[in-house]
Amino acid sequence: MLKNYILFLFVFVLPIATIAQIQIKTGNKSSWIQDTDYELNPAIDNDEIVQGAVTLLSDYQTNVPLQQTYYRFVNKITDPVGIQAISNISAVYDPTYQKLIFHSLKILRGDQVIDKLNPVDFQVIKRELNAENYLYDGSLSAMIYLSDVRNGDIIDYDYSIIGFNPLNKGEFTDGYILCDYAPVGKINVSILSDKSLKYQLYNTTLKPEIEKTGDTWYYQWTVNNPEPFYYEEFIPTWEINMPTVYVSTYNNWKQVIDWSLELFEIDKPISAALREEITSIENDNSSEGEKIQSVLNFVQNEIRYLGLEYGISGYKPHAPNQVFDQRYGDCKDKSLLMVTMLKEMGIEAYPVLISTTMKRSLNEILPSPYVFNHCTVKVVADDGNTYFYDPTITNQGGLFDNVHFPNYEYGLTIKKGNDKLESIESKSSNLTTVKEVYDLDKVNGSGKFHVTTSYHNIEADRIREYFKNSSLSNIAKEYEAYYANKHAGIKIVKNPEIIDDFKKNVVTIKEEYIVDSIWKEIPDEPENIAVEFQASALDGVFSVLNTDSRKHSIELAYPVTKSLETIVNLPEYWNIENETVEAKNDVFNYNQKINYNKSQNQLVIKNDLKILKPIVEAKDFKDYQNDVQKINNNYSYAIFIPKDNLAGFSSEPIMAFVKIIFYFLIFIAIVGVITWLVSRNNKKKVNQV
């Protein structure tokens, strides 16, 4: 408890006290910075302006040898609604190795130039935008809220940030977007470098102006009135769709690996405490696979995820001894600890740098260590098989050779001699199977509802985590509320039952419900009542897009496999025809089968879906949308009956039919007996004559 308090004190309380004492520095801009002109009335489409303001100039200038970056922004308010957003000025920097200097802040109002730069008006706050993910980078935001801002004002401000990350060691890499989501009058990017820069262009053919003076290189990209980027939902994170320039002094991925090897180097022997843990795992496990599994479980579940990524800690992992003692660390810390423990056991293992956003685009962009935002582990077993593990996942089921690894697609293995990215394909199907059984006692009556759901791979990990972090009673309420949207009046019979096959990583959940009145009036057909069955297992797989065309690709969850079987035990015969619906394309396969067993009065609806790849190309959108619509059209299935038929609708039509036949046969038998008796009596009379 005391340790937790001390951690809280150093991470949150003391920095606040320090921030309160910070006063923003002001000063003239450096002589190397060039003045960039701009148009007061650029040739932009006023219909494209959003939020009542337009950016007249975005200016980015970098001096690599001096480790300085200059920013200037000029914004014009075109409508009163723009006052709110434009009046708040902020700049973000890392105080561990950077200094922030504001040069000017002024309002241009007609012929007036109103100076608004006053250091005491600034507030410095620690925002920690990734705190919900347990990541704290220590960056500060210097903010000022301008007073007396009016419609039509132009706000012009500039500042410099001095200092690069010490880990750069003279190398430089960056990226610049040459447009915005709204109109911009002018974007300027210029770089002074003591090395020749490699650059890469995306969605633009604009080459830089390049000058060399002595040992200094000068690069400049200038764009006037760039076309605003057309935003669409669900654009893949890895796609570079906006006009973009990447620059780098790194020649290849080997340089990045060599840079990383220094950061991940361990300069101290492992501690006695860590050695004891390693020995304990070795003694408790005989096979290599068991040792790998035990180390993974230890790092995942005993070392909690927490990243204090101040300064160089954003890229350099903490020592394994420290991570083991404090029992927390970020992805780098946990990965290096796992690699260290495995190597001490004689098992080949390496850290692997990952980009959870860039994924396949890593194979296309210029080499840089700053494109990565995650770290995992690669293990090479004695039999030559390669396995990848993510130490940041908790409560992960499976054995060492079938543990789920996310679809990161590419990674950079930090291994001496390696010089390239490695393709990483997810081997998981992420299968979810659902079996629903409805028992309907009579028409317009109640029903019982049983659900058995089995989750595999990452789906098993997610549901296991969900059950561990929630009370069973709350889960029962959430489950009941979920199905109440489909069947009003549904009641859960007992708490869900969970069966966890940890080794196979399959979690099965069993649920049981009753519905007092499962039959409902059809909204558009009030003369009918019906029971509706929905393919709920398909919820959330496809995004709803109300458009007939698409400019950009769509990202899909992948891998995904769903199988839903709905069994309905009807109280009597129903007129149901068997049918099959299919939708197959390059993105997914879907199949629905409806079968009715007349002898058992049983309806079976099967829905199977498999996502084949994580992207829908824009050119394939129309066909994709048509196939998704086919699924939506068959998402629900209903059986119905007119209300007028209820009075004469026997709850046992087959038995009624049997009774009719039975009474008819009795009638025939009686008639036959009477006929036989009459005939026999007539014969006697004839014989007596």
pLDDT tens digits for 267-291?
899 999 999 999 999 999 999 999 9
Taking a C-beta distance cutoff of 8 angstroms, is the pair 70, 30 a contact? yes
Task: State the pLDDT at residue 485.
Answer: 87
Q: What is the largest CA-CA distance in the chain?
A: 150
Output DSSP code: residue 30.
P
Residue showing tokens 């980015």: 60
- The Cα 100–Cα 159 span in angstroms is 7
H-only helix segments in 649-689: 653-688
CATH number corresponding to 22-248: 2.60.40.3140
**Strand 140-145, strand 123-125: pairing:** antiparallel
Report residue 526's pLDDT band, with 50, 70 and 90 as the boundaries.
Answer: confident
Which pair of tokens denotes residue 461?
């990990």
State in Å, rounded, how far the first CA of the chain is from the last one: 121
Give residue 555's identity as a one-letter amino acid code: E
* CA triple 444-448-450, angle to 5 deg: 145
Q: CB of 389 within 8 A of CB of 406?
A: no
**Gap between the Cα atoms of 207 and 297, Å rounded:** 51
Torsion angle of C-alpha atoms 48, 53, 56, 57, degrees rounded to 10: -110
Q: Looking at residue 129, what is its pLDDT?
A: 56
- pLDDT bin (cut points 50, 70, 90) of residue 322 is very high
Among 243, 234, 355, CA closest to 615: 234
Q: Please say whether the beta carbons of 460 and 525 come within 8 A.
A: no
Q: What's the average model confidence in pLDDT over 158-172?
A: 93
CA distance 122 to 410: 43
* pLDDT tens digits, one per residue of 5-42: 434 444 444 444 445 557 789 999 999 999 999 999 99
Distance separating alpha carbons of residues 376 and 291, to the nearest angstrom? 18
**Whole-number pLDDT of residue 670:** 62
pLDDT score recorded for residue 133: 55
Assigned token pair, 586 = 């390059």
**Average pLDDT of the chain, as a whole number:** 88
- ω into 559 cis (within 30 of 0): yes
Q: What is the arithmetic mean of pLDDT over 667-675? A: 57
pLDDT at position 9 is: 41
627 or 547, higher pLDDT: 627
CA–CA separation, 392 and 410 (whole Å): 18
pLDDT of 401: 94
Per residue in 131-152, pLDDT (tens digit) is: 555 556 567 889 999 999 999 9
Q: Given this model, what pLDDT does residue 46 score?
A: 83
Look at the alpha carbons of 12, 15, 19, 25 in this order and tell me if their dihedral is positive or negative.
negative
Query: What is the reported pLDDT for 658?
Result: 43
Please say if the pLDDT value at position 656 is more than 80: no
Given this model, what pLDDT does residue 523 score? Answer: 82
Least confident of 165-179, 305-319, 499-513: 305-319
> Could you tell me the pLDDT band of residue 223, with boundaries at 50, 70 and 90?
very high
Quick one: pLDDT at residue 220?
A: 98
What confidence score (pLDDT) does residue 310 get?
A: 56
Question: Residues, the chain, total?
Answer: 689
More confidently predicted of 653 and 649: 649
| Residues 6 or more apart in contact with residue 609 via CB below 8 angstroms | 538, 541, 560, 561, 562, 563, 588, 589, 590, 591, 631
Please count the CA atoms within 13 angstroms of the CA of 244 that sit on its side-chain side: 11
Classify burial at 249, counting beta carbons within 10 Å of its beta carbon; exposed 0-12, middle 13-18, buried 19 or more: buried
CA 139/CA 54 separation, integer angstroms: 28
Right CATH for 256-424 from 3.40.50.150, 3.90.230.10, 3.10.620.30, 1.20.1260.10: 3.10.620.30
Least confident window among 16-25, 526-535, 587-596: 16-25
| Per-residue confidence (pLDDT) for residue 648, from 0 to 100 | 53
pLDDT digits (tens, 9 = 90+) for 408-422: 999 999 999 999 999
- Strands (E) in 484-543, as ranges, are 490-492, 497-501, 506-515, 520-522, 525-534
What are the strands, taking DSSP E only, across 333-427? 348-354, 374-380, 386-389, 409-413, 422-424
Q: Which residue type occupies 453?
A: T
- Residue range 411-468, pLDDT digits in tens: 999 999 999 999 998 889 999 999 999 999 888 888 999 999 999 999 999 999 999 9
Give dist(CA 348, CA 59) in Å, integer. Answer: 48
Count of Cβ atoms closer than 10 Å to residue 541 Cβ: 16
Domain 431-644 has CATH 1.10.3720.10: no
Average pLDDT rounded to a whole number, residues 43-48:
85
pTM to 2 decimals? 0.85
As a whole number, mean pLDDT of residues 245-255 equals 96
Per-residue pLDDT at 645 exceeds 90: no
- Phi and psi for 19 in degrees, rounded to 5? -60, -40
Reduced to 3 states (helix: H, G, I; strand: E, B; else coil), residue 139 is: coil
Residue pair 352/412 in contact (Cβ under 8 Å)? The answer is: yes
CB 430 within 8 A of CB 456: yes
- Interval 68-115: pLDDT, tens: 999 999 999 999 999 998 999 999 999 889 999 999 999 999 999 999
Identify the bridge partners of residue 641 per DSSP, sorted by sequence position: 529
Average pLDDT of the segment spanning 485-492: 89
Mean pLDDT of 479-492: 91
Residue 333 · residue 218 · CB < 8 Å? no
Residue 126 pLDDT level (bands cut at 50, 70, 90): confident
Domain boundaries, the chain: 22-248, 256-424, 431-644, 652-689
Q: Which of 96, 71, 246 is nearest to 163 (CA)?
A: 96
Q: What is the pLDDT of residue 686?
A: 35
pLDDT of residue 684: 39
CA 190 to each of CA 64, 178, 187, 222: distance values in angstroms, whole numbers, following the listed order: 11, 12, 10, 8
Nearest-angstrom CA–CA distance, 431 and 562: 6
The pLDDT value given to residue 313: 60
3-state secondary structure string across 149-184: CCCCCEEEEEEEEECCCHHHCCCCEEEEECCCCCCE
Which pLDDT score is estimated for 132?
55
